[in-house]
Amino acid sequence: DAGITQSPRHKVTETGTPVTLRCHQTENHRYMYWYRQDPGHGLRLIHYSYGVKDTDKGEVSDGYSVSRSKTEDFLLTLESATSSQTSVYFCAISDQHDTSTDTQYFGPGTRLTVL
């Protein structure tokens, strides 16, 4: 299994509070991704990073920000959590951005509940 960890694994928070999720990898892969997964939807890309300090928006980026100050860490911040952000969040990594030649490996996920 690829060396990807996510923390926390579970979190319950209240509406309006900031929340930061952490993804840590030991594979030295260049690309890192944050997805959310909700019933009735596939995984949807929130943000991704193609290197230290290099990030870009995905499909559902509103209300989220990211930072990558080191190759191994990719942080996802919910600036002011809302109930619609209750979800399971997955981090993924890949060595190549071209997925025709490389696979994305996923972390174990973080279950976030916003009350």
Strands 10-13 and 110-114: parallel
Cα separation, 49 vs 93, whole angstroms = 9
- Contact residues for 89 (Cβ-Cβ < 8 A; gap 6+): 6, 21, 34, 35, 36, 37, 46, 76, 109, 110, 112
3 in contact with another protein (CB under 8 A): no
Q: How far is the CB of 43 from another protein (least distance, A)?
A: 4
CB nearer to another protein: pick between 28 and 99: 99
Closest CA to 48 of 1, 105, 96, 92: 92
Q: Exactly one of 31, 34, 64, 74 binds another protein (CB under 8 A); which one?
A: 31
97 in contact with another protein (CB under 8 A): yes
Q: Exactly one of 76, 87, 94, 114 binds another protein (CB under 8 A); which one?
A: 94
Mark 34-53 with x for binding to another protein (rule: CB under 8 A) and - for no binding. ------xxxxxx--x-----
Mark 51-70 with x for binding to another protein (rule: CB under 8 A) and - for no binding. -------x------------
Cα separation, 9 vs 16, whole angstroms = 20
Number of shown-chain residues binding another protein (CB under 8 A): 22
Q: 95: which DSSP letter?
A: S
Binding site for another protein (CB under 8 A): 31, 40-45, 48, 58, 90, 94, 96-100, 103-104, 106-109
